[in-house]
Structure 1
Amino acid sequence: MFSIECKFAEWAWIDEHRYTCNIKRKNIPENQSAILDGRHLVPHTNFDVTGISFLSCRLTKIPKNLLLKSFSLLQALAVSNCGLREIKREDLIGLHDLRVLWLNDNEIEFLPGDLFIDMKKLEYVSFEKNKIRFIDAELLDPLPNLKLINFYGNVAIDKVYNSTFSTQGNASLEGIKIEIRTKCRPPFRENPKKLEENEELREQLNKRDKEIEILNEKVNNSMANEASLHEEISKMQKETKKFKILDDIMIIARDEDFKDFTILTRGEKFKLHKFIIAARSPTIKRIIKIRPETESVTFTDIPSSAFRELLKYFYDNEFPSNDANFKNILVTAYKLEIDEIKNYSLNKLFESLNEENALEILTLANKFDIEILRTKAFEEIQKVFPERELKIEIATDVGKIKKLIEAKKKFDEEFKNL
C-alpha cells in the first residue's frame, strides 16, 4: 500500500476554518492502492477532515478515488499550481458535498457545460489564473447557492463575482453569464437541425400521402375548380420536397455502410451513425463539437447490455423492455444525459422498489445524487424499523444503514429463539 503524507492543520478557507489535509508532494500517483496518511492533530481523525489542498503537485486530473477512499466528509478542495489541463464532470462524481472548489494557477482551457450538474451545494468556485478560452454557456446554471465565481487572469474572461462583499471591479452574476455566452463560446457551437423522431415522421409521411391521394382523386373526378386544385397540389408538392429530405436521411440511418462512429462499452463495441447518436445524447454531441474528428468514445463504466437496450431508443424511439436492468440503464442515461430515459428508468425503479433491493437502490441514488430516488428508497428502508423513525440525514450513509439493518435482523432472530 503506497502512502502519501498529509500535513494536517486548522486552515482558514474562504467560508470558514476547516481541519485540512495539505499535500505538497511533487508526484501524485494514480495507483489505486495509494492512501493519504499523516500525523493528526489531537484529537482529530480522518473523519474530521473537511478540506484538502494540493499545492505545486503534478496532476493530470483530480484524484477523486484517492480522496473518497481517505476522507468521506470533504466540503472543500483546492488544486493550485498543479499543471491541471482539464476538468470534467466525471472527475467530480462522488464529491457532491463540496461547497468550495479552488483550481487556481493551472492550465485549464475549457469548462464543459455539465461540469457542475452533480455539484448543487457548491458556493465558492475559483479558476483564477488559468488559460480559459472556452466555456459552455450553461456552466453555472446548476449552482443555486453560488456566492463567488472567480475567472480573474484568464485568456477569454477576466471577471469576478462575489456576493459576500462589493469591491471595485466586482461583476454581477448575470454579467458573468453574459460574458461567458458572448466571449467564451466554444467553436462548432451551431446546433444542427435535430431529426424528427421516427414515429412522428411516419405519421407525417402517411398524412402527406393521403392528402395527395385525395387531391389526385379530386382532379380525376373534376370535383373542384382546376385552377384551385392546381394551387393546392403545388403547395403540397413543396411540402413533399421537405419530407423527401427526411425520407433520404432515414434511408441513410438504416444503412450499415454509413455507420461512422464507435462506442466502446464494458464488454462490447457498437457501430453507430454519428449524427444519430449526437442528436440523442448531449454528452456525445458535446464531445463531437469540441473534437469533430473524433471517431470513437470509450465508456468503461457503461455495461454493454444497458447500451444495447438504448439502441432501440436511438433509432426507433422505443423504450427498454420491462425485464431490462433499469439500474444499469439509469446509470447509462446519466452518463449520456438522456432525460427521457432517466425519467423512464426512475419510474421503473419506483415500481420495483422493495425492502430487499432498497439499500442497493439507495446506493445508486447517492452516487448520482438523485434526491427523489433517495427519498423513495429511504421510505422503503424505514419499513424495516416500524417502531422507530430514522432520520433522513443518514440516507447518504449507506454503510451505517446497512449496519442498522443487520443489527435489526440479528436482534429479531435472537428474539425469535427466546
Structure 2
Amino acid sequence: MRQMNFEYTEEQTMLRETVAAFLKDRFPFDRRREVVKTPAGFSPDIWDAFATELGLLAAPFSEDLGGFGAGATGNMIIMEELGKALSVEPWLESIVMAEPLLAGANAACDEALQGVIAGERIIIPAIDWPVSGAGRKGTVEAQADGSGFTLTGGVALVRQAARATHFVIAADLGSAGPALFLVPADLPGIDREDARLVDGGRCADIAFHNVSLSADTCVAEGDDAVQRLAASFDAGLFALCAEAVGIQRMLLEWTVEYSKQRKQFGKAIGEFQALQHRMAEMFIKVEESVSMTILAAASLSGEADHRAKSVAAAKILIDQSARFVGEAAVQIHGGMGMTRELPVADYFTRLIAIAQQMGSTEYHFQRYEAASFSA
C-alpha cells in the first residue's frame, strides 16, 4: 500500500512562516479593525507589499506565467494564514479564482495574469457563483453585434469589486451557451453600488447598461467556458475552506489560553473536565477541517465530478465544524467572547459568513449528491 506524506516541504514551511510574520507585523488585529472602518475598507499597502516586497503574488502561479509553481498547496498555506489574520485582501478572487478562468485561454489572458503577479492588476470575477457554478444561465446577457458584444444585466454581491482593475464576467450567449469576458472595470456603462458586509468585507452590486465590448474581450465560450467556471468555482470553495481552517485554529488557540487564565471557584476553568472535553472536541473539529481541506486541494487537478464531490464534502464538513468551534469559543470565553475587547466575535462572524459564501451547506449537499450519482 502506498504511504501518503502530509508533511510540508522546507519551501512550504518557509512560505507559511514568511506570510505569518508579515501579517503579524503589518496587519495586526487592531489595524484590521481600523481598516475595515474606513470608507474603502482596505489598505492598498498590504497588497502592494505582497507584490513588491515579498513577491508573494507569484507563489501559486505556474512557472510558464512567471510564477513559482506552489499551486494548490501554496494557496492553501496562504489562505490559512490570511484566515488567521482575518485579512481583507482579494487573494481568493484575484489569485485563486481568476487563474482557472483565464490561464491558457489566449495570450492576452496570460498577459493579464502576469499583470496580477506584478501587482499591476486586480482581476475580480463578477459572476453569480452558485448559479454559474452549477452550469445554469447567469444574470448577464451578451448579444453579438457584428464587431463585438453588448452586455446587459447585473450581478449582486460581488466581493472585492471596488478593488478591481478588471472583471471576469460570465454572460449568457443564448443558444451558444455561456461565455466569459475579461473587461476593464471602468468601462462606460458599468455601474457599481458598494456595500459593507457583516464580516467587515466589501461587496458591490454591478449593473451593465448596454456595455460595448470588442470581440477580443471574449475569453471562452460554450463547453470551454463551463469547464473554466466549474474549475474556478471549486478552487474558490477549496480556498474558503483553507481560510476557515486558519480562523478555527486561532479560535482554538485563544480559547485554550483563556481557559488557563480565567479562574472560577478558585481554579482555572481549564481544569474543569467538562470544558476540557469541549476543547478536545474543538481540536478534533479543527483537525477534521484540515484533513478535508488537504483532500480538496488534492482533488483540484482531478476529474470534474471527483473534484466537485471532494470540495463540496469539504465545504459541508467545514461549515459544520466552524459553527461548533465558533460557538464553543464564545461560550467558553463567556461574556468576554461577545465584547469588542477580544477578537473572538469578529472571527466567529467571518466563519458564519463563509458558511453562506459561494453556496450554503444545503446547496453543497445537493452538489455532493449530484457528483456522487452522475453517470
**Could you tell me the TM-score, scaled by structure 1's length?**
0.27
Q: Output the TM-score relative to the length of structure 2.
A: 0.29
User: Quick check: which one's helix share is greater?
Assistant: 2
Larger Rg: 1
